[in-house]
Amino acid sequence: MDNRAPTANPADRPLAPLGALRPAEVAELAQALIQTRQSTLPKRLAGPGPDEAPTQPILPAAASARAHHELLPWRFVVVPEGARGALADAFAAALLQRDAAATPQQQAQAREKAFRAPLLLLAVVRLRDDDAEIEPHERIVSAGCALQNVLLMAHALGFGGALTSGKALASAPLRRLFDLHDDEQALCFVNIGTVAKPKRARARARPQAAQYVSVLQP
């Protein structure tokens, strides 16, 4: 008889309050999380993915990305397994709108993209509404922060992920499928799952701060 306690799922453990850690420890954890995350394309992802209920705590992480005036200018749409066929049809239709001569093989390749990631989300941003003070670019920045939070939390839980886009995002078939309003824009798809085919480990050159930081000279 095996008397060992079952292994706990990391996602089920309560988060330790950061107040119990020294600032240097919090900074070290944040740095490790940010610097070790890398994009894993959908073709390298497999099941299991996060359960759709425990997109806990992945999707709730997005809520920490706040916007001015307590606005919520973005949203996520989960694409469950039962809706992947409809998404595949939209991808193929969008391709045919761009290229009426697309071959059956090209259409099949477009359709296949709908079935890759175990957890698939569409990120949508509302560019305009009654709050005219909040410009579209501010709303997109807020959505970008939400996306980064989602990716970092997925990474912290041991999953791989990546953002994907493409010309189909602006197509009529995709906009109809997701019932996007005139003031809404599909930003990207969020793909999350277990890394089945890890990338080869290699040193990744990161830009130095001096390359993207300057000082205003009055």
- 105 has a pLDDT exceeding 70: yes
CB-based contact 95:169 (threshold 8 Å): no
SS (H, E, C) 75-100: EEEECCHHHHHHHHHHHHHHHHHHCC
- Could you give the residue ranges of the DSSP H alpha helices within the chain? 23-36, 84-98, 104-112, 136-156, 172-177, 209-212
Whole-angstrom distance, CA of residue 58 vs CA of residue 50: 8
Among 106-115, 155-164, 202-211, the least confident range: 202-211
DSSP class of 60: G
Among 13-22, 24-33, 127-136, the least confident range: 13-22
Nearest to 75 by CA among 144, 151, 140, 143: 143
pLDDT at 129: 80
Q: Which domains does the chain have, with CATH numbers?
A: 40-79+117-197 (3.40.109.10)
Whole-angstrom distance, CA of residue 153 vs CA of residue 118: 16
Whole-angstrom distance, CA of residue 189 vs CA of residue 98: 20
Report pLDDT digits (tens) over 186-215: 999 999 999 998 877 666 788 999 999 999
Report pLDDT digits (tens) over 115-141: 999 999 999 999 988 777 889 899 999
For 120, the enclosing helix (H) or strand (E) is: strand 119-126
How many residues appear in the chain?
218
The crossing angle, in degrees rounded to 10, of helices 136-156 and 23-36 is 100
pLDDT at 10: 42
pTM reported for the whole predicted model: 0.85
Beta carbons within 10 angstroms of residue 124's beta carbon:
20
CB-based contact 82:71 (threshold 8 Å): no
Distances (CA, A) of 65 to 61, 82, 132: 8, 30, 20
Residues facing residue 120 across a β-bridge: 191
pLDDT at 205: 81
Among 5-14, 88-97, 128-137, 166-175, the least confident range: 5-14
